[in-house]
Amino acid sequence: MPLLGLGKKQEPEKPAEVPDELPDLPQTASNAPAQDGEIPDELPPIDQELAPDELPPVIERGTATELSGQGDDKRLYFSSLLQKLHADGIKSTKLTAPSANLLADMKKHWKTRKRSEEIDAMKQKVADSLTPLQRLEQEWVALQEDIELKKQQLHEKEEEIRKLAEEAKNLAAKAEKMNSK
């Protein structure tokens, strides 16, 4: 076991001496305090000390009338219900129906809403995936038109070669006839 040092007695290491005061760090752009929002040397005193398991007091955000005017989200179930209440009066809302099951209606509303959002997202994905296909189709059409043009030019050249070959053949036949006479 000499490899692990179990058989040897080691002297305890002496702790390094720590200076009483550490030197100041150099002021660089990364650790210098900001000029406009300097960090104060001391934090303001805390009025009340909280126990670790206590929560700070809840701050009231506003009354119901203030909340109804703020952030009126038309997607929310109760927002549409509130609009209907203001427009048609209390008699026509689901609140006064004898079988008013608002929680079930709200869940149904959000299931429908979630489903429509999923469908919209899927439609957007399909549209996004079709964009490169449209570009490729345009390139394909341009290439196809080029191929058709080249085929037409090829046929014209072949026809010209046939005509010139026929003329050369006729001239060769005439020359042979003249040589044989």
| Residue keyed to tokens 């009025």 | 47
Q: Between residues 30 and 127, which one has the greater pLDDT?
A: 127
Say if 42 falls within a structural domain. Answer: no
Stretch (H or E) spanning 62: none
> What local confidence, expressed as pLDDT, does residue 97 receive?
56
User: Which tops the pLDDT comparison, 17 or 166?
Assistant: 166
C-alpha Rg value of the chain to the nearest Å: 45
Residue 15 lies in a domain: no
pLDDT at 1: 46
The token pair that represents 169 in the structure block: 């053949």
> Has residue 69 been placed in a domain?
no
Q: What is the pLDDT of residue 73?
A: 66
More confident: 85 or 141: 141
Range of 31-35, 52-56, 57-61, 150-154 with top mean pLDDT: 150-154
Residue 25 DSSP SS3: coil
User: 97: domain range?
Assistant: 77-180
d(CA 34, CA 37): 6
Which of residues 146 and 107 earns the better pLDDT score?
A: 146
The C-alpha torsion from 86 through 89 and 92 to 93, rounded to 10°, is: 40
Residue 106: inside a domain: yes
- Is there a domain that residue 27 lies in? no
Q: What is the pLDDT of residues 66-88, one digit of tens each?
A: 444 545 566 676 777 677 777 76
- Is residue 23 in a domain? no
**How much is the average pLDDT of 50-75?**
53
Sole residue written with tokens 């072949």 = 158
End-to-end CA distance of the chain: 119
**pTM of the predicted model as reported, rounded to 2 decimal places:** 0.36
Number of domains in the chain: 1
16: in domain: no
Question: What does pLDDT average to over the chain?
Answer: 74
Let me know if residue 138 belongs to a domain: yes
CA distances from 167 to 72, 157, 174 (A): 89, 15, 10
Asked whether residue 170 carries a pLDDT value surpassing 90, the answer given is yes
